[in-house]
Amino acid sequence: MRATFQGLEAAKRAIFTQQSALYTTGHNIANANTPGFSRQRIDFKATDGFPTAAMNRPEMPGQVGTGVEAGAVQRYRDTFLDMQYRQQNTGLGYWSSQAQGLHRMEEVMNEPSDQGLSKVLDQFWSSLEDLSVNPEDAGARAVVLQRGQAVAETFNYLNDRLSVNKKDIGAQIDNTNFGVNGILRQIHALNQQIGDIEPNGYLPNDLYDQRDKLVDELSEHVSIRVSYTSSGGNSGGAAQGKATIELLDANLKPMAFLVDGKVDQVNQVKVQMDDTKNHVVSVSVGSFAANGNFNAERTFDMNQFTSQGSLLGHIHNFGYTTDTTDPTNQNVEVKGNYPEMLDEIDLIAFNFADAFNKVHRAGFSLEDITSGTKTNRDFFTGMNYLPPVDPMDPNEVPVIDPASLKGFAAAIKLSNQLSNNPERIAAAAESEATPGVAFSGNGRNALEMARVKDAMMSFNGQQTSVSNYYQGVIGNMGVKTSEADRLGGNNLILLDSIQRNRDSVSSVSLDEEMTNMIKYQQAFNAASRNITVVDEMLDKIINGMGLVGR
């Protein structure tokens, strides 16, 4: 026969279950603005009907429902959208870091503008043309010195600011590396907490959210793949388990474990630079010992480390080597946006100064004309010359040491012999009628120096002028910046679209929660009313029956 108090038990279960749903709704509302929070719901489940199948079951027409109970408190989450988001976030992290460094480079180069190198060079050429017309004019000579000084200082400035920016990017690499390792340690700690809770049959949803948020942050810096391992014990079917995170290369193939949920281990990432902190040599994955030493499990040279993300973007801006033949890493080719631009500026300054000095040494200054002795002076200094083959030969052409090329933009300056001595500018050319003699009113060599602007020089095997090559360098920088902006923008658009889809699944809608609150409240009230009705029925049975005829 049916239990007399079965109705009370069913109503009681309903009250407790609706109450749990109201508490969960309140939790959702409280965290509506919490970053990374996923809305939660109670898994309502009807309890087993009465009677159960048994040999001694009461004979009844059918089973009677016994109410409802709260199953698990589950999150609204789409793992496929999470995977898409993280892949897209990796691309955005890489191109955003690239664009950031390239935009700072553009600010330094400042082209086209009235303060850029192109304008300074144009003013220098113009002052030389003016000098060729008035070679005896002290004012015109002073202007040439001032404009030449401006050219040298502009090269110095470009080298200095690019080097400062490069150093800042090196600091960003260290900060990003530190941030990645901090995130990995936090994920590992959450894994341990989750592993302690899940075997007891609970779902630590808020810990899941914290871990997913950290994984999202990690995906901005390196390319990763996430999988999960059961915590064992009495873990429920909806339990996520411990996260295992693998580092992926550009082809989305595993490179190393960052967090291993199976063996409960966390690794760290270390970016290794050369001794001078000039470029990145390798990236290692391993662990730090108690004494602070790093024990590398896997080491990747820069041919192998292709994991997309902001870390690689910073490295590609800062500079890296793929040459492992030189263990000292001092005589290797350094690639990267900033090292390549610094090399370009060195090459332009070097070729410009070399070509200009050759023309200047061929001319005669006012001092030479007055003294009757020709002096071969450089207009710009900064390069080193190889020792002469015959020190006694005055006609031997000085040969520049090729090692002077590296860092020449930082070293170039106006010759000390010309500084404050405008009369030493070799503006005059040798007289065609009288070899070895020049006249003060002759400005042909100043005109030849102005023509260096269009002289053909060798730039990495390419024959072109200083101005044209510099324009090509600036154009190439603009193309790289535009590409980084475009690809970063494309990734951002796709990421926003994926995030909207994630929000539609996981984020808290206050309107929906208010609706749920009313729904659960009314169900709670109805269950309470049900208890009152059953109580009245039982009162009638217990206190009202058997009173007939009294």
Q: What is the pLDDT of residues 351-380, one digit of tens each?
A: 999 999 999 998 888 888 888 888 888 999
Confidence of residue 2 (pLDDT cuts 50, 70, 90): low
Task: Determine the pLDDT at residue 54.
Answer: 64
Confidence of residue 544 (pLDDT cuts 50, 70, 90): confident
Residue 397 has pLDDT above 90, yes or no: no
Q: What is the pLDDT of residues 260-319, one digit of tens each?
A: 999 999 999 999 998 888 999 999 999 988 888 888 899 999 999 999 999 999 999 999
Could you tell me which residue, 328 or 507, shows the higher pLDDT?
507
Query: In the predicted model, what is the mean pLDDT of residues 436-463?
Result: 88
Q: Which of 90, 34, 305 is nearest to 215 (CA)?
A: 90
Q: What is the pLDDT of residues 241-262, one digit of tens each?
A: 999 999 999 999 999 999 999 9
The tokens describing 525, both together, are 């009230």
Q: Whole-angstrom Cα distance, residue 143 to residue 129?
A: 11
Confidence of residue 438 (pLDDT cuts 50, 70, 90): confident
Q: Is 545 helix (H, G, I), strand (E, B) or coil?
A: coil
Residue reference for tokens 């061929």: 362
Residue reference for tokens 């503006």: 427
Does residue 249 contact residue 307 with C-beta atoms inside 8 Å?
yes
Q: Is 370 exposed, middle or buried (0-12, 13-18, 19+ CB in 10 A)?
A: exposed
Q: Which of 12-21, 53-62, 431-440 has the lowest mean pLDDT?
A: 53-62
Task: Determine the pLDDT at residue 333.
Answer: 85
Percent of the chain at pLDDT > 90 equals 64
Residue 186 has pLDDT above 60, yes or no: yes
Q: Whole-angstrom Cα distance, residue 524 to residue 507?
A: 26
Residue 155 has pLDDT above 90, yes or no: yes
| Bridge-based pairing state of the strands 294-301 and 380-381 | unpaired
Q: Is 31 helix (H, G, I), strand (E, B) or coil?
A: coil
Q: Whole-angstrom Cα distance, residue 4 to residue 52?
A: 17
Radius of gyration of the chain (CA): 39
Residue 520 has pLDDT above 60, yes or no: yes
Q: What are phi and psi of 539, to 5 degrees?
A: -65, -40
Confidence of residue 545 (pLDDT cuts 50, 70, 90): confident
Q: What is the pLDDT of residues 454-499, one digit of tens each?
A: 999 989 888 999 999 999 999 999 999 999 999 999 999 999 999 9
Q: Which of 226, 270, 216 is nearest to 248 (CA)?
A: 226
Q: Which of 9-13, 33-37, 64-68, 464-468 has the lowest mean pLDDT?
A: 64-68
Percent of the chain at pLDDT > 70 equals 92
Q: Which of 41-45, 154-158, 252-256, 510-514 has the lowest mean pLDDT?
A: 41-45
Query: In the predicted model, what is the mean pLDDT of residues 201-206?
Result: 91
Three-state helix/strand/coil letters over 239-274: CCCEEEEEEECCCCCEEEEEEECCCCEECEEEEEEC
Query: In the predicted model, what is the mean pLDDT of residues 415-438?
Result: 83
Task: Determine the pLDDT at residue 128.
Answer: 94
Q: Whole-angstrom Cα distance, residue 463 to residue 333?
A: 23
Task: Determine the pLDDT at residue 153.
Answer: 95
**Orientation of helix 205-221 relative to helix 138-197, angle to 10°:** 150
Q: Whole-angstrom Cα distance, residue 534 to residue 13?
A: 14
Kindly tell me the sign of the dihedral angle through the C-alpha atoms of 306, 307, 309, 311.
negative
Could you tell me which residue, 68 or 514, shows the higher pLDDT?
514
Could you tell me which residue, 91 or 540, shows the higher pLDDT?
91
Query: In the predicted model, what is the mean pLDDT of residues 88-103?
Result: 96
The tokens describing 33, both together, are 């603005």
Beta bridge partners of 411: none
Query: In the predicted model, what is the mean pLDDT of residues 86-110?
Result: 95
Q: What is the pLDDT of residues 119-129, one digit of tens each?
A: 999 999 999 99
Neighbours of 199 (CB within 10 A): 15
Confidence of residue 327 (pLDDT cuts 50, 70, 90): low
Confidence of residue 328 (pLDDT cuts 50, 70, 90): low
Does residue 149 contact residue 414 with C-beta atoms inside 8 Å?
yes
Does residue 269 contact residue 258 with C-beta atoms inside 8 Å?
yes
Query: In the predicted model, what is the mean pLDDT of residues 140-157?
Result: 95
Sequence-separated (6 or more) residues with CB below 8 Å from residue 189? none
Does residue 357 contact residue 457 with C-beta atoms inside 8 Å?
no
Q: What are phi and psi of 58, to 5 degrees?
A: -70, 150
Task: Determine the pLDDT at residue 235.
Answer: 86
List the Cα angle 30/519/521 in 5-degree steps: 75
Residue 550 has pLDDT above 60, yes or no: no
Query: In the predicted model, what is the mean pLDDT of residues 324-340?
Result: 78
Distance of CA 61 to the CA centre of its chain: 70
Q: Which of 435, 442, 445, 449 is nearest to 124 (CA)?
A: 449
Q: Is 209 exposed, middle or buried (0-12, 13-18, 19+ CB in 10 A)?
A: buried
Q: Whole-angstrom Cα distance, residue 52 to residue 63?
A: 8
Residue 209 has pLDDT above 90, yes or no: yes
Does residue 32 contact residue 89 with C-beta atoms inside 8 Å?
no
The tokens describing 189, both together, are 């700690």
Task: Determine the pLDDT at residue 330.
Answer: 63
Residue 408 has pLDDT above 70, yes or no: yes
Residue 516 has pLDDT above 80, yes or no: yes
Query: In the predicted model, what is the mean pLDDT of residues 177-187?
Result: 96
Average confidence score pLDDT of the chain: 89
Does residue 445 contact residue 426 with C-beta atoms inside 8 Å?
yes
Does residue 95 contact residue 314 with C-beta atoms inside 8 Å?
no
Q: What are the Cα distances from residue 462, in Å, to 275, 338, 456, 468? A: 34, 21, 9, 11
Could you tell me which residue, 452 or 395, shows the higher pLDDT?
452
Q: What is the pLDDT of residues 39-84, one digit of tens each?
A: 999 988 888 777 666 666 666 666 777 888 888 888 999 999 999 9
Q: Which of 76, 98, 271, 72 is nearest to 177 (CA)?
A: 271
Confidence of residue 382 (pLDDT cuts 50, 70, 90): confident
